[in-house]
Structure 1
Amino acid sequence: MTSTARTRARRRPAERRARRGHAEEPEERPGPSRRRYLARRWMALLIVLAMLGLTYVVMFTSLIGVRTVEVVGTHEITQDTVRRVAAIELGTPMVRLDTDEVARRVATLPRVFSVSVSRSFPTTVEIHVTERTPVAVVPAADGVHLVDRTGVDYATVPARPKGLPVLKVVKVAPDDPATHAAVTVYGAIPGQLRKRVVELSARSPGDVRLKLSGGKIVKWGNAEDNDRKSAVLAPLLTRPGRTYDVATPDFPTVS
């Protein structure tokens, strides 16, 4: 064996031990550099500032504020009247607008039966109005009062609208039992019969009466069993007479 071969033989075990030792050592992971650390900190700060800025723009500026107020569903009430009572200041941030409060203000209009207010982003507020519909009238010195199906006297007009019966009760009010009984009965009777009613009266909740065109009187009684009473009254009206009593539908009478 030459001297060169002997030298290589002596080196091989040492090289193998060096390679094994190097393999057993855990690999060191370089930590983040200071530049990378600062970049991350600045990025987080910019995100926070951007969120704060966006919140400020949405909550406290007119950039996403009310630009348009749309009114839907009005007939007798003008849209300008609704907008005036709604009192929505243009430029008010959309997210800060109190829609419930706006609805309460619009509901104070006597002709308004119900109202809802909604946001239509980015800049529109929609006010949906349902107006009261008259079912009867009460003539008075100051004009003809309109009464809706809940018994509310909500408006006065110069002349009696065609097709509406006169309501005769002691006190017209939604919480008056006689008023409530009368308008309930009127709303429950069939449309063909309703067209013939010229006067609707109730001296008490149990004494509702209908005066029909032609002079016939229907003693209806209370506001119960309305479907049954309507079914009994239809054939009863074909008989001659002036007063038709269906207060007790099982024992109707004609006189």
Structure 2
Amino acid sequence: MRLFPAIGAEFAKIFTTRMWWVLALILVVYIGLLAGGLAAFFGWTIANPEVSGAGGATAIPPESDLAGLMYSFATSVGYVFPVLLGALAVTSEFRHQTLTPTFLANPHRAVVLWAKFSALFVVGGVVFGVLGWVSSVGPAAGALALWDLDPVLDDPDTWAMVGRGILAMALWAAVGVGLGALVPNQVAAIVIVIAFTQFVEPVLRLVATLNDVTAEIGKYLPGAASDALVGASFYQIAAMGSGEILEWWQGGLVLAAIAVVTTLIGYFTSWRRDVT
């Protein structure tokens, strides 16, 4: 089949450039500092309520949920990195004009695009998913244990959450492929990813909690669907995750649908155009 050699070629493209490991390195450092730092802060606050003056503050998550919320930094914040990886894997082809030799070697454009989709799905989960969750679980669990709080690493639900989180990171990389195909301009794609993930969607999710109608719509935002799939989210601390959420499998289906639909739209728009 044409697809499997094309997937192999896409893996070679990913791992013969610096892009993947630079993004992975930033992911590990960024998530490790956030998860470990906030876990240490909340651990200190819970252990010393009289010093912190926040013993009854609603901003402090309950101890029973603290570990999961800290671990979920891998996806609730770190998902931007697999999205960027997927988008850059596509837009780099347009920017550096490597699509011409790619299509000469494999003129079946749909096969090339779905090979990218498949390769980035695997890399997003196996590499970025694993690294993201290791960099959140490791420092956060250590910080919680330092304050004699249970890191719940012996709970099967914790590892089920980690598995779903790795799947979420894989789906986010696939979403990035669709976005890159839809917006082939690399600068524009990067701006859209950063603006949407770091500002637009968090604001939309906060606004959506203001009434029941918008809350129902807000459940289907990409980040909300991802958090539902994982089963925990840092945004719950800021009350952005208040109200009902989708079931974990529903969140996974919504995120997968976004990835597939975005890729299909990108295929029928920019991907089928003539390239020089």
CA radius of gyration, larger in: 1
Bigger relative CO (Cα 8 Å, ≥ 6 apart) = 2
Structure-1-length-normalised TM-score: 0.22
Structure-2-length-normalised TM-score: 0.21
